[in-house]
Amino acid sequence: MTDPAYIEPPPSVEVDVVIIGGGPAGLSAALNLGRARASVVLVDAGRPRNAATLRSHGFLTRDGIPPLELRKLARAELSAYPDVNVLDRTVVTALMPTDSTNGMRFIAALQGRGERTPPAVAARSVLIATGLRETLPSIPSLRAFYGMTIFSCAACDAWELQDRPLALIGETPDLAARARLIARWTDRLTVFTNGVDVIDTVEEAELAASGIVVDRRPIDDLEGDRGAVTAVRLADGGRVEIEGGFVRPQWHPALDFVNGLGLERDEFGNLVADRSGRTSVPGLYAAGDAASPGPQQLIVAAGQGARSAAVLVHDLVGVRTAH
Ligand X SMILES: Cc1cc2nc3c(=O)[nH]c(=O)nc-3n(C[C@H](O)[C@H](O)[C@H](O)COP(=O)(O)OP(=O)(O)OC[C@H]3O[C@@H](n4cnc5c(N)ncnc54)[C@H](O)[C@@H]3O)c2cc1C
- Residue numbers of the site for ligand X (CB under 6 A)? 20-26, 43-50, 52-53, 56-59, 91-92, 129-131, 147, 151-153, 156-157, 254, 257, 288-290, 296-299, 301
Q: Is 44 exposed, middle or buried (0-12, 13-18, 19+ CB in 10 A)?
A: buried
> Nearer to ligand X by C-beta: 40 or 91?
91
Concatenate the DSSP letters of all residues of 62-79 into one string: -TTB-HHHHHHHHHHHHT
CB of 185 to ligand X, least distance (A): 14
What are the CA-CA distances from residue 191 to residues 176, 293, 318 (Å)? 8, 24, 52
Amino acid type, 188: R
Question: In whole angstroms, how close is the CB of 145 to ligand X at the nearest point?
Answer: 11
Q: For residues 299 and 311, which CB has a smaller minimum distance to ligand X in the complex?
A: 299
Closest approach, Cβ 22 to ligand X, in A, equals 5
C-beta of 62: minimal distance to ligand X in Å? 10
The rounded Cα 84 to chain-centroid distance in angstroms is 22
Q: For ligand X, which is the closer residue by CB, 186 or 296? A: 296
Residues 182 and 166: beta-carbon distance below 8 Å: yes
Task: Give all strands (DSSP E) within 113-236, no chain letters.
Answer: 120-128, 132-135, 150-151, 166-169, 189-192, 213-215, 219-225, 228-234
Distance CA 2, CA 5 (A): 9
**97 versus 294: smaller Cβ distance to ligand X:** 294
Tell the smallest beta-carbon distance from residue 205 to ligand X (Å).
32
- Quick one: 48 or 137, whose CB is closer to ligand X? 48
CB of 296 to ligand X, least distance (A): 4
CA distances from 268 to 253, 272, 280, 295 (A): 8, 10, 16, 15
Separation of alpha carbons 211 and 188, rounded Å = 8
Q: Residue 24 or 283: which CB sits closer to ligand X? A: 24
